[in-house]
Amino acid sequence: MSMNNSPNVFLDPNANRFQVNIINESHNSNEASQEDVESEPPHYEETSFTEEAHNRLRISYRPGKRELYDNFLQNGEKPEASLHPCDTHNKMYYLQTFGHNTMDPVPKIDYYRNTGSVSGNKLNRPSLLEIHEQLAKNIAVSTGSVERVANGESTAGEETAASKEEEKKTGFVKFGWVKGVLVRCMLNIWGVMLFIRLSWIVGQAGIGLGVIIILLATMVTSITGLSTSAIATNGFVRGGGAYYLISRSLGPEFGGSIGLIFAFANAVAVAMYVVGFAETVVELLKESDTIMVDESNDIRIIGTITVVCLLGISVAGMEWEAKAQVILLIVLLIAIANFFIGTVIPTNNEKKARGFFNYQASIFAENFGPDFRSGEGFFSVFAIFFPAATGILAGANISGDLKDPQGAIPKGTMLAILITTVAYIGVAVCAASCVVRDATGNVNDTVIPGMSCNGSSACNLGYDFSRCRSQPCDYGLMNNFQVMSMVSGFGPLITAGIFSATLSSALASLVSAPKVFQALCKDNVYKGLHFFAKGYGKNNEPIRGYVLTFVIAMAFILIAQLNTIAPIISNFFLASYALINFSCFHASYAKSPGWRPAFRYYNMWISLFGALLCCGVMFVINWWAALITYVIELFLYIYVTYKKPEVNWGSSTQALCYIKALDSALALTTVEDHVKNFRPQCIVLTGAPMIRPALLDITHSFTKNNGLCICCEVYTGPRKLCVKEMNSGMAKKQAWLTKNKRKAFYAAVAADSFRDGVKSLLQASGLGRMKPNTLVIGFKKDWRNAAVTQVENYVGVIHDAFDFELGTIIVRIGQGFDISQVLQVQEELEKLEQERLALEATIKENEFDEEKSGICGFFRKARKLNITKHEAKNESTINTVQSMHVGEFNQKLLEASTQFKKKQGKGTIDIWWLFDDGGLTILIPYILTIRKKWKNCKLRIFTGGKVNRIEEEKLVMASLLSKFRIKFADINIICDINMKPNKESWKFFEEMIEPYRLRESCKDITTAEKLKRETPWKITDAELEAFKEKSYRQVRLNELLQEHSRAANLIVLSLPVARKGVVSDYLYMAWLEILSKNLPPILMVRGNHKNVLTFYS
């Protein structure tokens, strides 16, 4: 085999890290390779390898395509590329990157896509396992490019072409930043306020404060725009606008609450804008004396017709709606230009009488200061103007319909804010420079010669409007809402501008509300609203959402009383702005590595200031509306938090939660341990937690809300299989703990043996001060039938726990803990039930189809009925047999597995505190008694003592417990612990250990030594004799336990300790067996002989 590593390939100046050489495994590969190199220039290829050894893909970047390649690197777009099929019928090829055979793929955007991405196919890179363990020496590739394309592994150029072809075929419409964001934001910001309220605002506040009001409102929207831009450029943005941005940043709780409010606000805003339009039309009808019914009903009629027409435009599709928006913007721009032109057209006497004198320095100076009237002030005027500055999210709300949301939203939103702010300031300053505050409208109110003007600009210009001080006038900035119409060059164009402003805002809201609502429903945050998630047509139009928005808008149009609801709508929008700003601050503050916005012109503290400013503005506009908004949002937040939707969006809330936990854990490391703060922190050897639920339940009883609990599992066997199984089950088992409300962690290790795995867990589990200090393990009930290595591992784990100075608790219940067989049977029964239901559904469908098939169908139906009955009979027999099996074999086991979940009735917890282990033996049952399930149980204390000192021993123990502040019901001094057990009990013990005895004393020395070497685990006669007294004590203790504690709810007993290397494993297991045999649930506890109790304060 030859390797094509010719210098003219590797030293080529255009070569880059995508260099791939082809290795030809044939007799004349050298010549062929040389010919290839000499005949054509080198190719720069992006390689992709898969498990399919017969597939081949080559994406070539010629030197002349370098600019296109650079564009790919910058924008993540795929440049044009070509597919080179190669005939390899008689030859074998290998792909080589960086001069080596490798499965490692080069970086590619398709590896980072989400599953189901609409912008491209997700590709799966080789796993680390494949790279690490299965690196083949020769990676063969051959023809099959077409098949690879079919499998979603097409080249970059082909994917781009395919997506374009699909877009052309389906007519899918995407908007650029101008038509999609800039136009919509400008139209939504420029409302009717521009034409009929701005002159009044500048009249009240004056030019100076008026500009400050505009800039203050702009500051709120600009900060929000910056925050929106930062969030929108931190990853791919889908449809949903403000809801999407907030929910993906702060999580479903905030996003779900504000999403519903924001969608509703937009729906009601449709009614507001439509009523504004209808009122203007009714005013025109009134002027021409053509009222249809009366003013209120005419508003309802015109409003209904208008909203139906707008709905038709929206349902027709986004493209039609966008065209309508462009037309409305043109009309609006002409109307604004018409006003500015009108200010320079020489005025006439009629307009002068109404207060318009063209640009005059005296009028500018007179109107520069404030002149608040009718109880108005700075904040009340600001509250009236601020709704005119909203609408900055109109572009973001249709983010799903934008070609490039990341680029379009920042550019279009910020430019729209700039243009509209300049227009507002320009209109305000120009109007206040041309029109006086008060005018009578009477052309005869001219200045009389010799009259004192007292600084009045109108008087200096020849008109006397002094009577306006004593009686109301109809004209001027303060009195006439139609100042712009009067000033403009052509009045009807201002009316057209009012129509354009109201209709465009209504249309934008009518589109925004369903789009936001659809995104909310798709995420299934509110399960009852999932009906509205369905989209229709090429653009996935939310038709159902349109209908709902139409109904809401119609309801408020028919009410025709929007003065009360309007402040609430403004506050809903402000609440959205506040949360967007807070989202930007929160994401920055959490310092998550995933927070990398492409938009850099933001600051986390400015965003926080913007959030607080929005909250302040809410109360300035209307304090009771602000309170209502907060109450509704809080209610929705609590609801979503309670329901806990199953979503994971990587929110900054999660990131900050991690940061807080990390900081707390680090802070805890600086705190020295103190006996008063001791709490059991348990490592529980449950295996999979659902396999031994009772063991977890009893441990959880004294660790819940009190200490650390880690459920541990050890995988033994081939490393590769163990790791795969372990990794695949981690999330499932932790989810089981969460679902069953067990406040515990799950941890697993892969090891060569059970003991090695537990040893690793004992040493490495936990974090800082949150490390396990107690091992909880179930009693090995099958030790007599288990392999020797299993028993050695089990006892070895107990020795290791003592070596690492951990407390140890061995738990035993009569039926055992392992319910894996029950779970397996239940799973099989569930499968059978599913199959039965599927069979019944199929039969019903067939019967329905055959109802129309006449007499033949009747006979077929009869035959099928017989077969079905037979199958049903067989199935019922199987179910009956299995049900009997479960009932007879597993019912007690099932009951035992749930016994610690139930509330314990009145009874006792008997504590046999025989040895002082630091107090863990007494602390565990005390913690149990302060739990709700065990609070009805009293503590009875049993301890050893002398016959002649029973009362004194009781007093000593009572004094000790009272100092520890532990309540008890009774104290019993057991004096006959060291008596020999009765013959029957001892005989049972001897019979139990008989199979494991070496009995070397009955054999000659050579044979005995040989047996010791072959079976070192067996109990020798010498060992049994040496520990005879201790064996007597365990058997005798069981007799005493049977006598005194047979009726207890739980027994807590001092665990005997076997000296390492002296007591054999089987003798120790025999002690534990005889000690806990035929008793209620028993905890054999041994602390690490360090104090866990203290009587000092």
Amino acid at 361: A
**Category of 1090 on φ-ψ map: left (φ > 0), alpha (ψ -120 to 50) or beta:** beta
Question: Residue 636: is it exposed, middle or buried by C-beta count within 10 angstroms (0-12/13-18/19+)?
Answer: buried
CA-to-CA separations, 900 to 818, 847, 878, 912, 939, in angstroms, rounded:
15, 50, 33, 21, 17
Output the 3-class SS for 153-191: CCCHHHHHHHHHHHHHHHCCCCECHHHHHHHHHHHHHCC
State which residues of the chain have pLDDT below 70.
Answer: 1-104, 112, 114-120, 127-173, 239, 317-318, 450-455, 560-566, 847-890
Number of H helices, E strands in the chain: 40, 16
Distance CA 405, CA 119 (A): 13
pLDDT of residue 926: 93
pLDDT of residue 501: 84
> Whats the size of the chain, residue-wise?
1097
pLDDT of residue 889: 53
pLDDT of residue 74: 42
Amino acid at 538: K
Residue 467 is given by DSSP the state G
Distance CA 768, CA 772 (A): 10
- Beta carbons within 10 angstroms of residue 755's beta carbon: 21
pLDDT of residue 376: 83
Residue 594 backbone phi and psi in degrees, to 5? -75, -10
pLDDT of residue 804: 93
Output the 3-class SS for 711-773: EEEEEECCHHHHHHHHHHHHHHHHHHHHHCCCCCEEEEEEECCHHHHHHHHHHHCCECCECCC
Residue 644 backbone phi and psi in degrees, to 5? 50, 75
- Beta carbons within 10 angstroms of residue 1043's beta carbon: 9
Q: Which of 296, 277, 175 is nearest to 509 (CA)?
A: 277
Residue 815 is given by DSSP the state T
pLDDT of residue 114: 63
Interval 975-1029: pLDDT, tens: 888 889 999 999 999 999 999 998 888 778 888 888 888 888 899 988 999 999 9
